[in-house]
């Protein structure tokens, strides 16, 4: 029909979507890697140290990337009015990323504190 123009598709904030996706991945990845390590002998090319390094880097890298993309997505949502509906995605990715980074830092500090306390007591 002439004269009928379809409505334009809404633009998406890719950084906000990526932030939420990486945040969910960083939440699910340690659980998945733990289950894989329990139920199989998970190693790359027979190198157990490489598989541990891969797991450590991927578990630590995904929340950091979620935080970076969350800040970029939030900035874009505030700068461009047509992307304002995606600010919730960016905030959710930021919350998950910061929560997991603080949890990992706490898990790294507890053994150090226990070791220091054991040296003081003995």
Q: What is the pTM assigned to this prediction?
A: 0.78
**For the chain, first and last CA: distance in Å?**
87
Each domain of the chain, given as residue ranges in start order, spans 14-121
The 3-state DSSP class for residue 58 equals: helix
pLDDT at residue number 19: 96
Q: What is the pLDDT of residues 12-63, one digit of tens each?
A: 899 999 999 999 998 888 887 777 766 666 555 555 556 677 777 788 899 9
68 pLDDT band (50/70/90 cuts)? very high
Q: Please say if the pLDDT value at position 74 is more than 80.
A: yes
Using an 8 Å Cβ cutoff, are 1 and 70 in contact?
no
């Amino acid at each position: 029909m002439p004269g009928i123009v379809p409505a334009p598709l809404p633009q998406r904030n890719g950084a906000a979507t990526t932030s939420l996706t990486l945040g969910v991945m960083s939440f699910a990845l340690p659980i998945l890697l733990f289950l894989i390590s329990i139920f199989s002998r998970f190693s790359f090319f027979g190198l157990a140290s490489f598989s541990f390094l891969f797991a450590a880097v991927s578990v630590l890298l995904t929340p950091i990337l979620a935080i970076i993309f969350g800040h970029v997505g939030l900035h874009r949502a505030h700068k461009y009015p047509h992307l304002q509906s995606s600010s919730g995605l960016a905030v959710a990715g930021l919350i998950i990323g910061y929560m997991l980074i603080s949890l990992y830092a706490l898990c790294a500090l507890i053994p150090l504190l226990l070791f220091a306390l054991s040296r003081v007591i003995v």
